Amino acid sequence: MVEMSFCGTRYHGFQKQKNGIATIQQTVEEGIFRLLGERAEINGCSRTDAGVHANSFIFSVSLKSPINERGLIFGLNGVLPKDISILSCRRVGGNFHARFDCSGKEYVYKIHNSEIRNPFYENRIFRSWYPIDEKKLDLAAKDFIGRHDFKAFCSSDTDKEETVRTVFSFDVSRSGDIVEFTVSGDGFLYNMVRIMVGTLLFINDGKLSQDSIPKIIKSKDRTRAGKTVPAHGLYLNRVFYD
């Protein structure tokens, strides 16, 4: 069980692509081969979209090498690109799977709420110049909490037939000119977090009413929800296991 963090700007998401485009999975597997001379497939806790980042991402891998945990951490950090960092690792039972054993995830979406762009936030935080009322949106976000059919809040490209998910919490807070949308749940559909944040921004801008979220959920109609905000503001923040 390995924990890593990464900046997703240069990568086409986590999952390997047949066309050879750089992904996190491909890059880490190549790093394992460079370190150990061993071809191993890693299983990630989430697919993640292109450009999405992770403060904490868990993957599982079975290795033949006798390398210990400390050796794997520092060895991989020595061969991986500087935008991927191995944080920790520990041995677990052979049946453990980072994705299938995951009981929940927490995502954070970050917005730089300023008329002036910050060059250090480029590709790291989404900028929105229109004033954001974080207290208003924090109240509206609570309407997402609970077990619902979130079909209206997922991309039409989703491959999931089952669109019912449970949202444990959803908070909107501000620190200076950074507004954070923090949501946790038992699982998320394709683009679900980005569409929920986009819907809250529509409420902030007056394009949707304050009480519109329950109605949109009930409608199961993607066209009634807000925009899909850009991927570069999204971070996988924590992964939960029982």
Domain containing 131 — which CATH number?
A: 3.30.70.660
In angstroms, the CA 100 to CA 61 distance is: 13
Spatial separation of the C-alpha atoms in residues 138 and 203, rounded to whole Å: 11
The answer to whether 49 is a known catalytic residue is yes
**Does residue 34 register a pLDDT over 70?**
yes
133 and 181 within one domain: yes
Task: Report the chain's mean pLDDT, rounded to a whole number.
Answer: 95
Q: Is residue 144 part of a domain?
A: yes
Q: How far apart are CA 97 and CA 60, in angstroms?
A: 6
- 121: phi then psi, degrees, rounded to nearest 5: -95, -5
User: Which residues span the domain enclosing 13?
Assistant: 2-89
- What's the rounded mean pLDDT across residues 151-160? 82
Distance CA 164, CA 184 (A): 15
Determine the average pLDDT of the residues in 141-146. 98
What is the identity of the amino acid at 193? V
DSSP letter (8 states) at residue 143: G
Q: What is the mean pLDDT of residues 188-200?
A: 97
- Please say which residue of 89, 114, 130 terminates a domain: 89
DSSP 8-state code for residue 123: T
Kindly indicate the confidence band of residue 156, based on its pLDDT and cuts at 50, 70 and 90: confident
Helices (H) and strands (E) in the chain, counts: 5, 10
Burial of 240 from C-beta contacts in 10 A (0-12 / 13-18 / 19+): middle
Residue 108 has φ and ψ, to the nearest 5°, of -125, 130
Q: Which of 195, 216, 229, 222 is nearest to 143 (CA)?
A: 216
pLDDT computed for residue 155 by the predictor? 86
The pTM score is 0.94
Give a yes or no: residue 167 inside a domain.
Answer: yes
**Residue 170 near residue 141, CB atoms below 8 Å:** yes
Residue 216 lies inside a defined structural domain of this protein: yes
Domain count, the chain: 2
- 112 and 65 share one domain: no
Last residue of a domain, one of 54, 89, 124: 89
21 pLDDT tier (thresholds 50, 70, 90): confident
